[in-house]
Amino acid sequence: MDYFELSLSVEPDFSEILMAELAEIGFDSFVETDEGLQAYVLESEFQERDLKQLMETYAEKTPMSYSLKKIEKQNWNEEWESNFSPIEVLDKVYIRATFHEPAGEQYEHEIVITPKMSFGTGHHETTSQVMALQLEIDHKDKSVLDVGTGTGILAILAAKLGATKIHAFDIDEWSVENTQENIQLNHTDLVTISLGTIDSQKAEVYDIVLANINRNILLEEIPKYATFTSDYLLLSGFYEHDIADIQAKAEANGLKKIKHISKNNWAAVVFRKH
Ligand SMILES: C[S@@+](CC[C@H](N)C(=O)[O-])C[C@H]1O[C@@H](n2cnc3c(N)ncnc32)[C@H](O)[C@@H]1O
- Domain total of the chain: 2
**Same domain assignment for residues 25 and 146:** no
**Same domain assignment for residues 231 and 120:** yes
Q: 235: domain range? A: 84-272
**Same domain assignment for residues 71 and 88:** no
Distance in Å, CA 200 to ligand 1 centroid: 15
Give residue ranges with CB within 6 A of ligand 1: 28, 118-120, 126-127, 130, 147-150, 153-154, 170-172, 175, 197, 212-213, 217, 237
**Same domain assignment for residues 56 and 113:** no
**Same domain assignment for residues 68 and 90:** no
Atom of ligand 1 at shortest range from CA of 127 = 8
Q: Whose CA is nearest to atom 8 of ligand 1?
A: 127
Ligand-binding annotation for 164, yes or no, is no
pLDDT number for residue 134: 98
**Same domain assignment for residues 43 and 174:** no
Encode the chain (274 residues) as per-residue pLDDT tens digits.
577 888 888 887 788 788 888 888 888 777 777 778 888 887 777 888 888 888 888 888 888 889 898 877 655 666 666 667 888 899 999 999 888 888 888 899 999 998 766 667 777 888 899 999 999 999 999 999 999 999 999 999 999 999 999 999 999 888 899 999 999 999 999 999 999 999 999 999 999 999 999 888 899 999 999 999 999 999 998 888 899 999 999 999 999 999 999 988 889 999 999 7
**Same domain assignment for residues 56 and 131:** no
pLDDT number for residue 35: 76
Pick from 45, 75, 105: which residue ends a domain? 75
Please choose from 19, 40, 133, 149 the residue to mutate so as to test ligand 1's pocket, defined by most ligand atoms within 8 A of CB. 149
Distance in Å, CA 56 to ligand 1 centroid: 28
The CATH number of residue 40's host domain is 3.30.70.980
CA dist list (Å): 226 to 84, 103, 210, 211, 252: 35, 37, 11, 12, 10
Atom of ligand 1 at shortest range from CA of 197 = 20
Atom of ligand 1 at shortest range from CA of 120 = 9
Ligand-binding annotation for 26, yes or no, is no
pLDDT number for residue 50: 87
pLDDT number for residue 193: 97
Pick from 24, 51, 75: which residue ends a domain? 75
Ligand-binding annotation for 265, yes or no, is no
Distance in Å, CA 171 to ligand 1 centroid: 7
pLDDT number for residue 104: 81
Q: Whose CA is nearest to atom 25 of ligand 1?
A: 172
The CATH number of residue 250's host domain is 3.40.50.150
